[in-house]
Amino acid sequence: MIGGCKMIKINERTTANMDVVLEEVCSHLPHGGDHASRKHIALRLIQSAKKGNVTLDGLRNVAYRALSELSRRKSA
């Protein structure tokens, strides 16, 4: 445990789920998203998965939230 949070090891299935979700969400960005945008979303997915959120739907929610964060930043 780190800082009171249980850290989960990311397995192959979770990695595959994260890949699917990253591609799905980035398809909504022009040209599939630039490196910085994809990195932001991927980091949010990794953080969430390490906390135990490993389902496809759970990861999808995290990724769309990260996409929303990007939209708010660019419009601010």
What are the tens digits of pLDDT across the range 7-27?
678 999 999 999 999 999 999
Is residue 31 included in any domain, yes or no?
yes
Domain count, the chain: 1
What is the span of the domain harbouring residue 63?
16-75
pTM across the whole model? 0.85
- For residue 11, being part of any structural domain is answered with no
Are residues 74 and 30 in contact, defined by beta-carbon separation less than 8 angstroms? no
The pLDDT, as a whole number, for residue 5 is: 60
Residue 43 lies in a domain: yes
* Joined tokens for residue 11: 């397995």
CA distance 34 to 37: 5
Average predicted confidence (pLDDT) for the chain: 90
| pLDDT per residue as tens digits for the range 43-68 | 999 999 999 999 999 999 999 999 99
Q: Is residue 51 in a domain?
A: yes
Q: Is residue 2 part of a domain?
A: no
> Closest by alpha carbon to 44, among 14, 22, 16?
22
Domain contains 5: no
- Is 8 among the domain residues? no
